[in-house]
Amino acid sequence: MSGALVLREQRGSTTILTMNRPERRNALNPALIAELTGEMIAAGEDARCRAVILTGAGNTFCAGMDMEHLAKVAEQREAEHLAEANALVRLMMTIRELPKPVIAVVNGAAIAGGTGLATICDFTLAAPEAKFGFTEVRIGFVPAIVSSALLRMAGEKQARELLLTGKIFSSEEALRLGLITWIVNPEQLMDEALALAGSLALNCPSSMAGVKRLLASFEQHQMEEEMRISVLANAAQRQHPDFKEGIRAFLMKRKPVWQRA
């Protein structure tokens, strides 16, 4: 086991990383993002590891960014917002470019940044009752960092619908959109992920690393530019009065009062 925020378990050639904030529905904050990034990098460098499984403690995969943390940092300067956005980009790109296959086990809700985290993995296995959604527009935020990968997976028309409506959608719809790989019964979810990891371990490690490197290289420069723009959009919206109002309204469980666009 590693630090309190990310639990690491080694099962043969498979490294299981579990986001461990069940009391906060595994919501992302700077400490969790940093620790998870570090554990992913360590797994990528570990000769014992042939595949990584990512999941969440309790009955939630990841509820997105921690709203209480966002409320505390709403008055941050632009440089601090940029640093936090860049840290999330680094986590997402670490998973995408890791030389080992990464399997997401979505045992419950994966919302906002949690949807991005689950779907950027190489394989995404989800329980039938799992829920997804890019809900940022509901709280005065812009789903900037997740949008680049979503465009590639679902296409522009579907991405616009998901990002602009902020709707919650089911595992079945996520499968139809190409955002997840399989729907698996909850009691079999981890066993199926371990079986998949075991089958991947039979493949040539350098070949799988080469495949991931090749796929990443096809759109490397374009994605780097998109992420740069996304970071700026993320930081800019965090300084908008609507962002602060959205966070306050969410925490107070009331309807937000938006400014005119």
Buried b (16+ CB within 10 A) or exposed e, 80-96: ebbebbbbbbbbbbbbb
**Three-state SS annotation for 179-219:** CCCEECCHHHHHHHHHHHHHHHHCCCHHHHHHHHHHHHHHC
168 token code pair: 């919650």
Is 173 catalytic? The answer is no
Catalytic-role residue among 35, 39, 84, 136? 136
188 token code pair: 């079999």
Q: What is the CA radius of gyration of the chain?
A: 18
Angle at which helices 144-154 and 156-165 pack, to 10 degrees?
Answer: 140
Contact 33, 89 (CB under 8 A): no
Active site residues: 136
